[in-house]
Structure 1
Amino acid sequence: MPEAYDLCLASASPRRLALLQQLGLRCQQYPVDLDESVLVGESPKDYVIRLAEEKATAGMQRSGTTLPVLGSDTSVVLGHNILGKPENEAHAIEMLMQLSGQSHQVMTAVAVCQNDQLRSVLSTTEVKFRTLTEQECRRYWHTGEPADKAGSYAIQGLAAIFVESVSGSYSNVVGLPLFETAQLLESFNIQILESD
Protein backbone atom coordinates (compact mmCIF):
# COMPACT_ATOMS: atom_id res chain seq x y z
CA MET A 1 0.00 0.00 0.00
CA PRO A 2 1.50 3.37 -1.05
CA GLU A 3 0.71 5.06 2.29
CA ALA A 4 3.15 2.66 4.00
CA TYR A 5 6.02 4.46 2.24
CA ASP A 6 7.48 7.93 2.73
CA LEU A 7 9.01 8.22 -0.73
CA CYS A 8 9.98 6.40 -3.89
CA LEU A 9 13.67 5.86 -4.67
CA ALA A 10 14.43 5.85 -8.42
CA SER A 11 17.44 3.58 -7.92
CA ALA A 12 18.36 -0.03 -7.25
CA SER A 13 21.33 1.07 -5.12
CA PRO A 14 21.47 -0.80 -1.79
CA ARG A 15 23.78 1.95 -0.46
CA ARG A 16 21.30 4.76 -1.12
CA LEU A 17 18.45 2.68 0.29
CA ALA A 18 20.45 1.97 3.47
CA LEU A 19 21.29 5.67 3.90
CA LEU A 20 17.63 6.68 3.56
CA GLN A 21 16.64 3.93 6.00
CA GLN A 22 19.28 5.34 8.37
CA LEU A 23 17.12 8.49 8.40
CA GLY A 24 14.13 6.35 9.40
CA LEU A 25 12.46 6.62 5.99
CA ARG A 26 10.40 3.89 4.36
CA CYS A 27 11.29 3.71 0.68
CA GLN A 28 9.73 2.02 -2.28
CA GLN A 29 12.48 1.32 -4.83
CA TYR A 30 11.65 1.94 -8.46
CA PRO A 31 14.88 1.69 -10.51
CA VAL A 32 15.08 3.55 -13.81
CA ASP A 33 17.47 2.86 -16.67
CA LEU A 34 18.75 5.96 -18.45
CA ASP A 35 21.49 6.83 -20.92
CA GLU A 36 24.21 8.22 -18.66
CA SER A 37 26.44 9.59 -21.42
CA VAL A 38 28.07 12.96 -20.80
CA LEU A 39 26.85 15.65 -23.21
CA VAL A 40 29.37 17.57 -25.30
CA GLY A 41 30.76 20.47 -23.26
CA GLU A 42 28.82 19.45 -20.14
CA SER A 43 30.55 20.22 -16.83
CA PRO A 44 30.69 17.53 -14.11
CA LYS A 45 28.37 19.65 -11.93
CA ASP A 46 25.78 20.07 -14.70
CA TYR A 47 26.09 16.38 -15.57
CA VAL A 48 25.27 15.03 -12.10
CA ILE A 49 22.42 17.51 -11.60
CA ARG A 50 20.90 16.65 -14.99
CA LEU A 51 21.09 12.90 -14.33
CA ALA A 52 19.60 13.18 -10.83
CA GLU A 53 16.70 15.27 -12.17
CA GLU A 54 16.14 12.91 -15.11
CA LYS A 55 16.10 9.90 -12.76
CA ALA A 56 13.60 11.54 -10.40
CA THR A 57 11.34 12.60 -13.28
CA ALA A 58 11.54 9.20 -14.99
CA GLY A 59 10.83 7.46 -11.69
CA MET A 60 7.70 9.55 -11.16
CA GLN A 61 6.45 9.00 -14.73
CA ARG A 62 7.12 5.27 -14.80
CA SER A 63 5.87 4.43 -11.30
CA GLY A 64 2.76 6.60 -11.45
CA THR A 65 3.20 7.29 -7.74
CA THR A 66 1.94 10.36 -5.92
CA LEU A 67 4.80 10.03 -3.44
CA PRO A 68 7.89 12.25 -3.75
CA VAL A 69 10.42 10.48 -5.99
CA LEU A 70 14.14 10.81 -5.22
CA GLY A 71 16.75 10.47 -7.95
CA SER A 72 20.47 10.75 -7.36
CA ASP A 73 23.75 10.57 -9.23
CA THR A 74 27.31 10.35 -7.91
CA SER A 75 30.42 11.04 -9.97
CA VAL A 76 34.10 10.95 -9.14
CA VAL A 77 35.80 13.96 -10.72
CA LEU A 78 39.55 14.32 -11.27
CA GLY A 79 40.36 17.75 -12.69
CA HIS A 80 37.59 18.17 -15.25
CA ASN A 81 37.30 14.46 -16.01
CA ILE A 82 34.36 12.37 -14.83
CA LEU A 83 35.45 8.89 -13.76
CA GLY A 84 32.44 6.63 -14.12
CA LYS A 85 31.99 2.94 -13.39
CA PRO A 86 34.76 0.66 -14.68
CA GLU A 87 34.17 -1.33 -17.85
CA ASN A 88 36.66 -4.04 -16.91
CA GLU A 89 39.73 -4.78 -14.78
CA ALA A 90 42.15 -2.75 -16.92
CA HIS A 91 39.83 0.27 -16.84
CA ALA A 92 39.42 0.01 -13.05
CA ILE A 93 43.18 -0.18 -12.47
CA GLU A 94 43.72 2.77 -14.82
CA MET A 95 41.23 4.89 -12.86
CA LEU A 96 42.63 3.93 -9.47
CA MET A 97 46.17 4.74 -10.61
CA GLN A 98 44.92 8.13 -11.83
CA LEU A 99 43.54 8.77 -8.32
CA SER A 100 46.76 7.54 -6.67
CA GLY A 101 48.41 10.28 -4.60
CA GLN A 102 45.86 12.83 -5.82
CA SER A 103 42.95 14.83 -4.46
CA HIS A 104 39.69 14.41 -6.33
CA GLN A 105 36.09 15.51 -5.91
CA VAL A 106 33.04 13.37 -5.39
CA MET A 107 29.90 15.12 -6.59
CA THR A 108 26.43 13.86 -5.74
CA ALA A 109 23.28 15.55 -6.96
CA VAL A 110 19.97 14.70 -5.32
CA ALA A 111 16.68 15.57 -6.99
CA VAL A 112 13.14 15.18 -5.69
CA CYS A 113 10.11 15.26 -7.96
CA GLN A 114 6.45 15.34 -6.93
CA ASN A 115 3.57 16.37 -9.18
CA ASP A 116 4.87 19.46 -11.01
CA GLN A 117 7.62 20.26 -8.52
CA LEU A 118 11.28 19.37 -9.13
CA ARG A 119 14.08 20.51 -6.83
CA SER A 120 17.71 19.47 -6.64
CA VAL A 121 20.81 20.00 -4.52
CA LEU A 122 24.50 19.30 -5.10
CA SER A 123 27.10 18.16 -2.59
CA THR A 124 30.84 18.12 -3.31
CA THR A 125 33.44 16.35 -1.16
CA GLU A 126 37.22 16.48 -1.53
CA VAL A 127 38.93 13.09 -1.15
CA LYS A 128 42.73 12.56 -1.03
CA PHE A 129 44.19 9.16 -1.89
CA ARG A 130 47.58 7.93 -0.71
CA THR A 131 49.97 6.59 -3.34
CA LEU A 132 48.80 3.22 -4.65
CA THR A 133 50.64 0.42 -6.42
CA GLU A 134 49.30 -1.33 -9.48
CA GLN A 135 49.47 -4.65 -7.62
CA GLU A 136 47.18 -3.51 -4.80
CA CYS A 137 44.77 -1.99 -7.33
CA ARG A 138 44.63 -5.35 -9.06
CA ARG A 139 44.07 -7.17 -5.76
CA TYR A 140 41.34 -4.66 -4.90
CA TRP A 141 39.62 -5.30 -8.24
CA HIS A 142 39.55 -9.04 -7.50
CA THR A 143 37.58 -8.44 -4.27
CA GLY A 144 34.65 -7.54 -6.55
CA GLU A 145 34.02 -4.30 -4.66
CA PRO A 146 34.92 -1.70 -7.33
CA ALA A 147 32.99 -3.27 -10.23
CA ASP A 148 29.87 -1.08 -10.03
CA LYS A 149 31.32 1.99 -8.28
CA ALA A 150 32.04 5.43 -9.70
CA GLY A 151 35.81 5.90 -9.80
CA SER A 152 36.23 2.16 -9.09
CA TYR A 153 36.13 2.42 -5.31
CA ALA A 154 33.84 2.22 -2.30
CA ILE A 155 34.93 4.42 0.60
CA GLN A 156 32.71 2.45 3.00
CA GLY A 157 34.50 -0.76 2.06
CA LEU A 158 38.09 -1.89 1.59
CA ALA A 159 39.03 1.30 -0.27
CA ALA A 160 38.95 3.11 3.07
CA ILE A 161 42.62 2.10 3.38
CA PHE A 162 43.40 4.21 0.27
CA VAL A 163 41.86 7.39 1.69
CA GLU A 164 44.26 9.80 3.35
CA SER A 165 41.67 12.49 4.05
CA VAL A 166 38.07 13.54 3.41
CA SER A 167 36.94 17.15 3.42
CA GLY A 168 33.15 17.50 3.34
CA SER A 169 30.28 15.05 3.58
CA TYR A 170 31.31 11.41 4.07
CA SER A 171 27.81 10.11 3.23
CA ASN A 172 28.07 12.01 -0.06
CA VAL A 173 31.02 9.79 -1.05
CA VAL A 174 29.01 6.68 -0.12
CA GLY A 175 26.27 7.88 -2.48
CA LEU A 176 23.83 10.22 -0.73
CA PRO A 177 24.66 13.42 1.22
CA LEU A 178 22.36 13.06 4.23
CA PHE A 179 22.44 16.71 5.37
CA GLU A 180 21.37 18.08 1.97
CA THR A 181 18.96 15.19 1.35
CA ALA A 182 17.14 15.77 4.64
CA GLN A 183 16.77 19.49 3.89
CA LEU A 184 15.46 18.75 0.40
CA LEU A 185 12.96 16.16 1.67
CA GLU A 186 11.73 18.54 4.37
CA SER A 187 10.88 21.04 1.60
CA PHE A 188 8.48 18.31 0.38
CA ASN A 189 7.01 17.97 3.90
CA ILE A 190 8.87 14.75 4.72
CA GLN A 191 10.03 15.25 8.30
CA ILE A 192 13.05 13.24 9.37
CA LEU A 193 12.69 13.85 13.09
CA GLU A 194 8.96 13.97 13.71
CA SER A 195 7.72 15.20 17.05
CA ASP A 196 5.43 12.92 19.03
Structure 2
Amino acid sequence: MTLSCQTQAGQNVAPLLVLASASPRRIALLEQIGLTPDRVLPANIDETPAKGEVPRVYAQRMAAEKARTVASTLGEPALVLAADTVVALGRRILPKAEDRDTARFCLERLSGRRHTVLTSVVVAPTASWVSGRYGARLVETAVTFSRLTPYQIDALLDAGDWSGKAGGYALQGHAAGFIRALSGSASAVIGLPLFETAQLLRGQPGGWLA
Protein backbone atom coordinates (compact mmCIF):
# COMPACT_ATOMS: atom_id res chain seq x y z
CA MET A 1 0.00 0.00 0.00
CA THR A 2 1.31 3.44 -0.92
CA LEU A 3 1.10 6.25 1.59
CA SER A 4 0.59 9.86 0.70
CA CYS A 5 0.99 13.23 2.34
CA GLN A 6 -0.04 16.77 1.53
CA THR A 7 2.45 19.34 0.34
CA GLN A 8 1.86 23.04 0.95
CA ALA A 9 0.38 23.21 -2.55
CA GLY A 10 -2.14 20.52 -1.58
CA GLN A 11 -0.69 17.86 -3.85
CA ASN A 12 -0.50 14.22 -2.73
CA VAL A 13 3.07 12.97 -2.58
CA ALA A 14 4.02 9.42 -1.69
CA PRO A 15 6.72 9.44 1.01
CA LEU A 16 9.92 7.68 0.06
CA LEU A 17 11.20 4.62 1.88
CA VAL A 18 14.89 5.27 2.54
CA LEU A 19 17.23 2.59 3.86
CA ALA A 20 20.05 4.05 5.95
CA SER A 21 22.38 1.17 5.11
CA ALA A 22 24.26 -0.13 2.09
CA SER A 23 24.05 -3.71 3.39
CA PRO A 24 22.97 -6.06 0.59
CA ARG A 25 21.66 -8.39 3.30
CA ARG A 26 19.20 -5.79 4.58
CA ILE A 27 18.09 -4.92 1.04
CA ALA A 28 17.45 -8.62 0.32
CA LEU A 29 15.54 -9.04 3.59
CA LEU A 30 13.28 -6.10 2.75
CA GLU A 31 12.63 -7.59 -0.68
CA GLN A 32 11.63 -10.82 1.08
CA ILE A 33 8.61 -9.01 2.54
CA GLY A 34 7.85 -7.21 -0.70
CA LEU A 35 9.63 -3.90 -0.17
CA THR A 36 12.28 -2.18 -2.26
CA PRO A 37 13.80 1.01 -0.82
CA ASP A 38 13.36 4.08 -2.97
CA ARG A 39 16.82 5.18 -1.90
CA VAL A 40 19.80 3.66 -0.12
CA LEU A 41 21.69 6.28 1.89
CA PRO A 42 24.22 4.91 4.38
CA ALA A 43 24.67 7.04 7.49
CA ASN A 44 28.16 8.40 8.04
CA ILE A 45 28.42 8.39 11.84
CA ASP A 46 31.02 7.56 14.46
CA GLU A 47 30.33 3.96 15.52
CA THR A 48 32.78 3.88 18.41
CA PRO A 49 31.13 2.53 21.59
CA ALA A 50 31.10 4.99 24.48
CA LYS A 51 33.20 4.09 27.51
CA GLY A 52 31.31 1.54 29.58
CA GLU A 53 28.44 1.36 27.08
CA VAL A 54 26.60 -1.97 27.24
CA PRO A 55 25.61 -3.82 24.04
CA ARG A 56 21.86 -3.14 24.33
CA VAL A 57 22.29 0.61 24.74
CA TYR A 58 24.92 0.75 22.01
CA ALA A 59 22.73 -1.03 19.44
CA GLN A 60 19.78 1.25 20.20
CA ARG A 61 21.91 4.38 20.03
CA MET A 62 23.52 3.42 16.74
CA ALA A 63 20.23 2.63 14.98
CA ALA A 64 18.64 5.86 16.25
CA GLU A 65 21.62 7.99 15.21
CA LYS A 66 21.70 6.42 11.74
CA ALA A 67 17.99 7.06 11.19
CA ARG A 68 18.02 10.63 12.46
CA THR A 69 21.22 11.52 10.62
CA VAL A 70 19.86 10.43 7.26
CA ALA A 71 16.40 11.90 7.93
CA SER A 72 17.98 15.29 8.66
CA THR A 73 19.57 15.36 5.19
CA LEU A 74 16.31 14.87 3.30
CA GLY A 75 14.05 17.76 2.44
CA GLU A 76 11.22 15.66 1.05
CA PRO A 77 8.59 13.40 2.67
CA ALA A 78 10.26 10.12 3.55
CA LEU A 79 10.50 7.41 6.16
CA VAL A 80 14.06 6.41 7.04
CA LEU A 81 14.67 2.82 8.11
CA ALA A 82 17.89 2.08 10.01
CA ALA A 83 19.24 -0.91 11.90
CA ASP A 84 22.29 -1.90 13.88
CA THR A 85 23.41 -5.41 14.81
CA VAL A 86 25.69 -6.15 17.75
CA VAL A 87 27.24 -9.46 18.77
CA ALA A 88 27.79 -9.60 22.51
CA LEU A 89 29.49 -11.94 24.94
CA GLY A 90 27.94 -10.87 28.21
CA ARG A 91 28.57 -7.14 28.47
CA ARG A 92 31.36 -7.25 25.88
CA ILE A 93 30.73 -5.98 22.35
CA LEU A 94 32.59 -8.04 19.77
CA PRO A 95 34.03 -6.00 16.90
CA LYS A 96 32.99 -5.95 13.28
CA ALA A 97 35.52 -8.10 11.42
CA GLU A 98 37.33 -5.93 8.91
CA ASP A 99 40.38 -8.21 8.68
CA ARG A 100 41.26 -11.88 9.12
CA ASP A 101 42.89 -11.42 12.53
CA THR A 102 39.77 -9.75 13.94
CA ALA A 103 37.57 -12.50 12.53
CA ARG A 104 39.81 -15.14 14.13
CA PHE A 105 39.69 -13.28 17.45
CA CYS A 106 35.88 -13.37 17.37
CA LEU A 107 35.52 -16.99 16.28
CA GLU A 108 37.94 -18.21 18.93
CA ARG A 109 35.85 -16.54 21.61
CA LEU A 110 32.51 -17.70 20.21
CA SER A 111 33.69 -21.31 19.89
CA GLY A 112 31.62 -23.63 22.09
CA ARG A 113 29.77 -20.73 23.69
CA ARG A 114 26.37 -19.12 23.70
CA HIS A 115 26.25 -15.45 22.79
CA THR A 116 23.63 -12.78 22.17
CA VAL A 117 22.90 -10.94 18.94
CA LEU A 118 21.07 -7.66 19.46
CA THR A 119 19.53 -5.90 16.49
CA SER A 120 17.88 -2.54 16.90
CA VAL A 121 15.61 -1.25 14.12
CA VAL A 122 14.33 2.32 13.90
CA VAL A 123 11.97 4.16 11.56
CA ALA A 124 12.16 7.96 11.53
CA PRO A 125 10.08 10.32 9.34
CA THR A 126 11.61 13.40 7.79
CA ALA A 127 10.47 16.79 9.02
CA SER A 128 8.41 17.30 5.87
CA TRP A 129 6.28 14.19 6.52
CA VAL A 130 4.45 15.45 9.58
CA SER A 131 2.09 12.48 9.88
CA GLY A 132 4.92 9.94 9.97
CA ARG A 133 5.73 8.28 13.28
CA TYR A 134 9.04 7.52 14.94
CA GLY A 135 9.31 3.93 16.12
CA ALA A 136 11.95 1.53 17.44
CA ARG A 137 12.31 -2.13 18.37
CA LEU A 138 15.15 -4.14 19.87
CA VAL A 139 15.40 -7.87 19.18
CA GLU A 140 17.63 -10.23 21.16
CA THR A 141 18.59 -13.64 19.79
CA ALA A 142 20.64 -16.32 21.54
CA VAL A 143 23.09 -18.18 19.29
CA THR A 144 25.26 -21.15 20.31
CA PHE A 145 28.32 -22.27 18.37
CA SER A 146 29.68 -25.79 18.52
CA ARG A 147 33.27 -26.07 19.65
CA LEU A 148 35.49 -25.14 16.72
CA THR A 149 38.81 -26.81 16.02
CA PRO A 150 41.72 -24.70 14.72
CA TYR A 151 41.22 -26.37 11.33
CA GLN A 152 37.52 -25.41 11.28
CA ILE A 153 38.32 -21.82 12.20
CA ASP A 154 40.85 -21.64 9.37
CA ALA A 155 38.24 -23.06 6.96
CA LEU A 156 35.72 -20.40 8.02
CA LEU A 157 38.32 -17.69 7.56
CA ASP A 158 39.26 -19.04 4.12
CA ALA A 159 35.58 -18.93 3.09
CA GLY A 160 35.74 -15.15 3.50
CA ASP A 161 32.10 -14.44 4.31
CA TRP A 162 33.10 -13.01 7.70
CA SER A 163 34.22 -9.75 6.10
CA GLY A 164 32.38 -6.76 7.54
CA LYS A 165 30.25 -8.93 9.83
CA ALA A 166 29.68 -8.21 13.51
CA GLY A 167 31.29 -11.01 15.51
CA GLY A 168 33.19 -12.33 12.50
CA TYR A 169 30.53 -14.64 11.05
CA ALA A 170 27.43 -14.66 8.85
CA LEU A 171 24.44 -16.81 9.78
CA GLN A 172 23.61 -17.14 6.09
CA GLY A 173 27.19 -18.19 5.32
CA HIS A 174 29.54 -21.07 6.07
CA ALA A 175 29.25 -20.56 9.83
CA ALA A 176 25.68 -21.93 9.70
CA GLY A 177 27.16 -25.42 9.70
CA PHE A 178 28.59 -24.82 13.18
CA ILE A 179 25.65 -23.14 14.88
CA ARG A 180 24.16 -25.68 17.28
CA ALA A 181 21.20 -23.65 18.49
CA LEU A 182 19.38 -20.41 17.82
CA SER A 183 16.60 -18.97 19.94
CA GLY A 184 14.95 -15.85 18.57
CA SER A 185 14.93 -14.20 15.14
CA ALA A 186 17.18 -15.56 12.41
CA SER A 187 16.54 -12.51 10.22
CA ALA A 188 17.65 -10.26 13.09
CA VAL A 189 20.98 -12.11 13.25
CA ILE A 190 21.38 -11.60 9.50
CA GLY A 191 20.73 -7.88 9.96
CA LEU A 192 17.03 -6.95 10.04
CA PRO A 193 14.26 -8.49 12.19
CA LEU A 194 11.50 -8.88 9.62
CA PHE A 195 8.51 -9.26 11.93
CA GLU A 196 9.39 -6.21 13.99
CA THR A 197 10.28 -4.18 10.89
CA ALA A 198 6.95 -5.05 9.28
CA GLN A 199 5.11 -4.07 12.47
CA LEU A 200 6.82 -0.68 12.52
CA LEU A 201 5.91 -0.07 8.89
CA ARG A 202 2.32 -1.21 9.39
CA GLY A 203 2.09 1.31 12.21
CA GLN A 204 2.66 4.24 9.87
CA PRO A 205 -0.39 6.32 8.83
CA GLY A 206 -2.43 4.39 6.29
CA GLY A 207 -0.38 1.23 6.69
CA TRP A 208 2.88 0.71 4.78
CA LEU A 209 2.28 -3.02 4.48
CA ALA A 210 -0.93 -5.02 4.25
TM > 0.5: yes
* Structure 2: gaps spanning 5 or more residues: 1-12, 128-132
- Range with greater deviation from structure 2 (126-135 or 136-145): 136-145
SS in 2 for 1:152: coil
- The superposition leaves residues 6-64 of structure 1 with CA deviations (integer Å, 9 ceiling, x where unpaired) of 51000000000111111111202111221100011211111000000000011112243
Select 2:92's aligned residue among 62, 75, 81: 81
For residues 85-106 of structure 1, give each alpha carbon's deviation from its aligned partner in whole angstroms, at most 9, with x where no partner exists.
Answer: 1242122111101000000000
RMSD of aligned residue pairs (Cα, Å) = 1.8
**Does 2:27 correspond to 1:17?**
yes
Q: Is the CA contact (8 Å cut-off) linking 2:81 and 2:121 kept in structure 1?
A: yes
- Which runs of 5 or more structure 1 residues have no equivalent in the other structure? none
Mapped to 2, the partners of 1:134 and 1:77 lie a distance apart of: 22
Worse-superposed segment, 3-12 or 66-75: 3-12
Distance across 2 between alignment mates of 1:102 and 1:33: 33
1:188 counterpart SS class: coil
Instruction: Kindly name which structure, 1 or 2, has the bigger radius of gyration based on alpha carbons.
Output: 2
Query: TM-score of the superposition, structure 1-length normalised?
Result: 0.91
Residue number in structure 2 paired with 1:177: 193
Q: 2:209 aligns with which of 178, 192, 195?
A: 192
Q: Which residue of 1 aligns with 2:121?
A: 110
Q: Distance in 1 between matches of 2:153 and 2:74?
A: 40
The Cα shift of 1:144 comes to 1.7
Q: SS where residue 167 of structure 2 aligns? A: helix
Q: Is the contact between residue 25 and residue 191 of structure 2 (CA under 8 Å) also seen in structure 1?
A: yes
Residue 134 of structure 2: SS of its match in structure 1?
A: strand
**Equivalent runs, 1:5-84 vs 2, <5 Å:** 7-27=17-37, 28-84=39-95
TM value normalised by structure 2: 0.86
Identity %: 43
In the comparison of the two structures, how many residue pairs are matched? 192
- The residue type equivalent to 1:49 in the other structure is Q
Structure 1 equivalent of residue 178 of structure 2: 162
Report runs of 4+ in structure 1 exceeding 3 Å deviation: 3-6
CA contact (8 A) 1:53 1:118 kept: no
C-alpha distance 65-158 of structure 1, shift in aligned 2 (>3 A): farther
Give yes or no for contact 1:111–1:121 (8 Å, CA) kept in 2: yes
Asked if the contact 1:93–1:134 (Cα under 8 Å) also holds between the matched residues in 2, the reply is: no
Asked if 1:93 is matched to 2:109, the reply is no
SS at match of 1:151: coil
